[in-house]
Structure 1
Amino acid sequence: MNNHYFLTLVISTTALLSGCQSMADEASIGIAGRVVNADNSVTILRASLNGSGVSGSGGDECCMSIPAKWKPGMTAMLSWTKDPSPGVNPDGKRRPALPNGITTPEWKRWMNSHEANYKKMEKIIPLPKYGETCGVTFVFLPCDDARVILDCDERYKLFRTLPGGKDRYPELIRRMGGRAICQ
């Protein structure tokens, strides 16, 4: 590894970590966020809690800000943007191929139409109790049922024994009391 690459990596990592720390003050803490999408009919593009959020890519992202200590009666605005028809436009046209990864005018027109179909959702939720937090886990269940988990123990209890493969999300939906079929 050359010295320039190593130095760039160290500076980038330091900036990322200090970004989390700079969000923290006496009243709030900086933590990572993650999206878990158990609704295979939509793609979650972004999720936020009181305006602090992450993309829907699924991995941990830094940084979000939450109150340093949970208090009874706390609420938060949960917001998310979803793609209600991944890969297909409302007119039924599928996403065009990208020859050699190069965007074409046809692809750009398709994406403009597709992005106009995105839905922004929000609801006020009671902020779930947390002690030690491992970050914000946004869980999206079918029927626009969105939840957040903040407490490490709760997240561990919910996810540690989930099966893998095709049974993972149906079991997550069941454990969280969600509906598999929307009305």
Structure 2
Amino acid sequence: MMRIGKVLRSLVLGGLLIISGCSQANSDGYTAGDLRGVNHTEQGINHFSVNGYGGSLSGNTCCVMLPNKWYQGMQAKIEWETDPKTAPPFPGYQDRDKYEAWEKQVTGSFQQHSTVVVIPAYDKERCGMTVHFLTCNRVKVTTVCEGFGTPNYPIKEPLHMKEPATCPK
């Protein structure tokens, strides 16, 4: 019973730390906001980060810190991992050696990417950051509050874009 109490206390404290990380609004001239991702490609995006803050393609993730006031030349470092889906089909779990060989092929095919992008101007109203992953390992970001696909949303590229035979340099 004593052990369960310690585990429960650790979980509660950990949860409070996570929550407090996102509630640090106006901490040293920065405000926390949600971090979202939109994949426009046929590749899988395994994970990504903006200036070291982890993001999600499956909804909002807390948090990315943005300065309260936008400034000219503001940039963000985006890092992400893609799955080009070049591995053979899943062999099942019955034969452990085949499964482990397959798993090694899958993870060995993952590709790491990194780029620095300019953050578009924003005023007081901003809603975190949305990172759009485009073909040819290009990335666009926005801080607008409208949702993707709405008339005023600044990024217009469609979803499920096919990778071109050659990418511009």
Fold match by TM threshold 0.5 = yes
- Contact 2:117 2:141 (8 Å CA) reproduced: no
In structure 1, the partner of 2:44 is 43
Deviations 1:94-126 (Å, cap 9, x if unpaired)?
122346xxx944323322221121111111211
When the two chains are superposed, the root-mean-square deviation of aligned CA atoms in Å is 3.2
Deviations 1:57-91 (Å, cap 9, x if unpaired)?
42111122222221111122122111112xx41xx
Whether 1:95 aligns to 2:57 is: no
Runs of 4+ in structure 1 deviating by more than 6 angstroms, as ranges, are none
* SS of equivalent residue, structure 1 residue 112: helix
Whether 1:133 aligns to 2:126 is: yes
User: How far apart, in 2, do the equivalents of 1:126 and 1:181 lie?
Assistant: 23
- Contact 1:173 1:180 (8 Å CA) reproduced: no
- Looking at both structures, which has the greater relative contact order when contacts are Cα pairs under 8 Å and sequence separation is at least 6? 2
The percent identity for this pair of structures is 25
In structure 1, the partner of 2:157 is 173
* Amino acid in structure 1 at the alignment position of 2:51: N
In structure 2, the partner of 1:60 is 60
Gap change, CA 1:160 and 1:13, over 3 Å in 2: farther
Q: What is the TM-score normalised by the length of structure 2?
A: 0.72
Gap change, CA 1:73 and 1:115, over 3 Å in 2: same
User: How far apart, in 1, do the equivalents of 2:141 and 2:103 lie?
Assistant: 30
In structure 1, the partner of 2:4 is none
* Amino acid in structure 2 at the alignment position of 1:160: T
Gap change, CA 1:30 and 1:141, over 3 Å in 2: same
Q: What is the TM-score normalised by the length of structure 1?
A: 0.67
> 5+ residue gaps in structure 2?
1-7
